[in-house]
Amino acid sequence: MNSIVHSFRVATTILEQRIVGLFSGSAGFVGYPEDTTELPIGITLDRVNETTGVIPVAGIGSIARVLFNDTVASGALVAADTSGRGIPFTLANTTTQLTLSAAYAGLLTGRAVNLTALVSEVYLAPGYESGA
């Protein structure tokens, strides 16, 4: 897999193959998205078991493996739940403000996920859907 890898500090234990965003209020730290309005910045490559470590994170433009918590079709947009697991992104927003389910992490480039707890590859290209 192709990866542009960056190192970030962690404020809490983070598992591998999870989508992460910048940790609120702490420069240079990543954590699981607090909600789905938080723009993802990467996918963890290794597990960090303590809170003073640094974790390798595949950055934007990379392809990395993600653990999924729901079914997602190949080629579909992928979002993250609050534990960093992949979920399907839906374009159901109808307001002009960013609301829940507004941020996505990228596209599922690997095989379709038809069961929870499966791992597949995601091309990291985060963005926002702001509604009509």
Domain boundaries, the chain: 5-58, 63-127
- Model confidence pLDDT, tens digit, residues 62-78: 999 999 999 999 999 99
Rounded Cα distance, 30 and 5, in Å: 14
How many residues are listed for the chain in this entry?
Answer: 132
Kindly state the tokens that stand for 93. 């927003």
The answer to whether the beta carbons of residues 126 and 60 sit under 8 Å apart is yes
> pTM of the full predicted structure?
0.85
Q: Is the dihedral of CA 53, 122, 104, 114 positive or negative?
A: negative
Kindly state the tokens that stand for 103. 């941020």
- Model confidence pLDDT, tens digit, residues 12-39: 888 899 999 987 777 788 888 877 667 8
State the Rg of the chain over Cα: 14
